[in-house]
Structure 1
Amino acid sequence: MGFFDFLYPEGRSPQLTTAQAYKEYQAGARLIDIRDLIDWNKGHIAGSEHIPQARLLRPSSGLDKTQRLILVCSDGQQSLHTAYRMQNAGYDAISIHGGLASWKSSGLPFS
């Protein structure tokens, strides 16, 4: 049982490890950085898209509910809660456990 399993019904914690996220991203999942523009400009995952958290659930966001969406924020907390909300809205969304901090410490591509 994971730490967040008590928060999410049916043990459906919407998180991936950085290694799992990288593998899914390479296989075609859409990687979305939900931080604000100032933080995005300081550095982000190479090839990721910037869509601020506040715009994600808007119809104008252009997101496809059937496409795998990997969300990332600084430490994984905002993206975790956002992924869960998006799942409840019918999206195939998941968060990177530990966020950008975990991604960078894993030595994965960052720009």
Structure 2
Amino acid sequence: MTFESVDPTEVPEGAHLIDVREQSEWDAGHAPTAQHLPASSLIERMGELPEEGDLYIVCRGGGRSAQVTQWLNGNGYDAINVRGGMGAWSEAGLPLTADGDAEPYIL
């Protein structure tokens, strides 16, 4: 099964960005507008996903997000993989935030 992938710089402003990394990765640094929905709890938390519109799926390097994108598309969602993940996001100079006063980084 094939699916659409985009570079981080191609994610539209205001897009619904879903970060599927685990809690420690999220805490270290994430996109300010992302929704945190770890891949490990995706099935239990499906109700938190919007039912309409494109979902841009991101992880650390692109592997988990590719799997989640494929699964979501197979279950009726319009999901698009963010190629290169948060590593590529950071390298592109896109905004990052972390909880508290910590300097954000990609774990």
SS in 2 for 1:61: helix
Q: Which runs of 5+ in 2 are unaligned?
A: 98-107
What residue is the counterpart of 2:41 in the other structure? Answer: 55
- Deviations 1:15-53 (Å, cap 9, x if unpaired)? 1111211xx2x1x32111111111100111122111111
* Superposed counterparts of 1:21-32, under 5 Å: 21=11, 24=12, 26=13, 28-32=14-18
Give the % identical residues: 30
Instruction: Please tell me whether residue 75 in structure 1 is matched to residue 65 in structure 2.
Output: no
Q: Over aligned residue pairs, what C-alpha RMSD do you find?
A: 1.6
Using a 3 Å threshold, how does the CA distance of structure 1 residues 13 and 40 change in structure 2: closer, same or farther?
Answer: same
- Relative to the length of structure 1, the TM-score reads 0.78
**1:55 touches 1:61 (CA, 8 Å); kept in 2?**
no
Indicate the structure whose relative CO is greater, using CA pairs within 8 Å and at least 6 residues apart.
Answer: 2
Aligned length: 97
SS in 1 for 2:88: helix
**2:5 touches 2:81 (CA, 8 Å); kept in 1?**
yes
- Relative to the length of structure 2, the TM-score reads 0.81
Higher helix share: 1
The one-letter amino acid paired with 1:74 is R
Tell me the distance in 2 between the aligned counterparts of 1:61 and 1:70. 17
